[in-house]
Amino acid sequence: MKKRVISVLMAVMMFSLVACGSEKSSTSGGSSSSSKTSSDNGSADAGKGTAKEPQADAYKFEYKGVSIAVDADVSGIISALGDADSYHEEKSCAFEGLDKVYTYGSIEIDTYPDGDIDRVSSIIILDDLVKTPEGVSLYNTVDDMKAAYGSNYTEDTNLFVYEKGGMKLRFIIKDNEIASIEYMSTAADA
């Protein structure tokens, strides 16, 4: 059942990336670097969206000893984590350049282009082998989430959203269990 939920979530995420553009590239294993041309790069100000820096008070995630924050330059994170298990890129809907997706075991790191650098747009937890720094993992209950994060959230049907430091921490709930945990940038919302 857990694998089915993860497979459905992955399919939805990949569909949303494919719907944005026509240029794409994927790899599995090996190096996850990509060369850019001048047409791939572009200032966020020159196109769509607004890039931003991570804020100190934002929620952060840690994976294998590497701190990951939304809106951070992803290059140091990717260097520290090493080669991704899988990699995908697609023309960005919100910015000039390519959105990229790096999958590392239990997490997915999505990026958006900001001129010559790529910034973290989201961190998605893929299984219950990892926890948030506050101790919450997939398949915990809504009560577990509220005990760790409090009651300062917005709720829309099965979606609970905590906002802090200019980013969103989203929990999707199914049958009173956490089915998805996503750290999301608000850069594309601007």
Closest CA to 95 of 161, 140, 46: 46
- Three-state SS at 149: helix
Beta-ladder partners of 182: 124, 170
pLDDT at 174: 97
Boundaries of every domain in the chain = 2-31+45-126
pLDDT band at 93 (very low <50, low <70, confident <90, very high): confident
- Three-state SS at 12: helix
Chain centre distance of CA 178: 17
Residues 46/38, Cβ–Cβ less than 8 Å: no
Q: Among 128-132, 136-140, 183-187, whose mean pLDDT is lowest?
A: 183-187
Q: What is the pLDDT of residues 30-51, one digit of tens each?
A: 433 333 333 333 333 333 445 5
- Three-state SS at 103: strand
pTM (predicted TM-score): 0.75
Residues 183/122, Cβ–Cβ less than 8 Å: yes
